Amino acid sequence: QKEVEQDPGPLSVPEGAIVSLNCTYSNSAFQYFMWYRQYSRKGPELLMYTYSSGNKEDGRFTAQVDKSSKYISLFIRDSQPSDSATYLCAMSGGSQGNLIFGKGTKLSVKP
Amino acid sequence: DSGVTQTPKHLITATGQRVTLRCSPRSGDLSVYWYQQSLDQGLQFLIQYYNGEERAKGNILERFSAQQFPDLHSELNLSSLELGDSALYFCASSLGSGGPTEAFFGQGTRLTVV
């Protein structure tokens, strides 16, 4: 079993839809959870960062962490064509400073 | 712009050759991380340096090595290149050494081995 599992998609939604992206993980030592957005031919860009369990909201984006289920989610409200990108979850136990990434979900928001 | 600069942007080289990828971290960041991104493996952590010292090692091949210089820029050396080494190589930087805090990624170097 891989440490971090993420459905690669692709996921196609109409503009204005609510998007739900998810990752599961197996390592209970993970404490830091992130979501990165990566546009084609660009580097990953940090979107959301959560420590331990709970929810975090930033504009149209909400990140949720459920450590009991080893499950994290990213919700995008009122999705826009500019949200079309690959979304990568990443996590870390904090002891070494390196991130374990999911393979990414490719999202396409159609006008 | 993340503030992390990677050069070159593209590199095409032959099998068996050696290349050096360069990374300048964001101003003030002491940690540099190297990642490899391929279609089948996704983003894989290679190695981390903090203030000139190796701090963590991931799935880095013995043919690969890295270092961080006193001015905090870092270089990733890839030798005896194979076709399978073709990938995007990303550098990221962060302020601290432990915990990912917020790692900012560069634009990557696309390596093609022919």
pLDDT for residue B101: 61
Mean pLDDT taken over chain A:
91
pLDDT in tens, A34-52: 999 999 888 999 899 888 8
Is B102's CB within 8 Å of A94's CB?
Answer: no
A88: which chain B residues are within 8 Å (Cβ-Cβ)?
Answer: 42-43
Residue A29's pLDDT band (cuts 50, 70, 90) = confident
Is A97's CB within 8 Å of B48's CB?
Answer: yes
Out of A42, A88, A92, whose CB is closest to B107?
A42
Give residues with Cβ within 8 angstroms of B35, minimum separation 6. Answer: A101, B43, B44, B45, B46, B89, B90, B91, B92, B105
| A54–chain B nearest CA distance, Å | 17
Nearest to A72 by CA among A109, A15, A106, A21: A21
Mean pLDDT value of segment A8-14: 93
Tokens standing for residue B103: 């790692």
Place of tokens 């919700």: A75
Is A96's CB within 8 Å of B56's CB?
Answer: yes
Across chain B, how many H-helices and E-strands are there? Answer: 0, 11
Q: Is A81 helix (H, G, I), strand (E, B) or coil?
A: helix
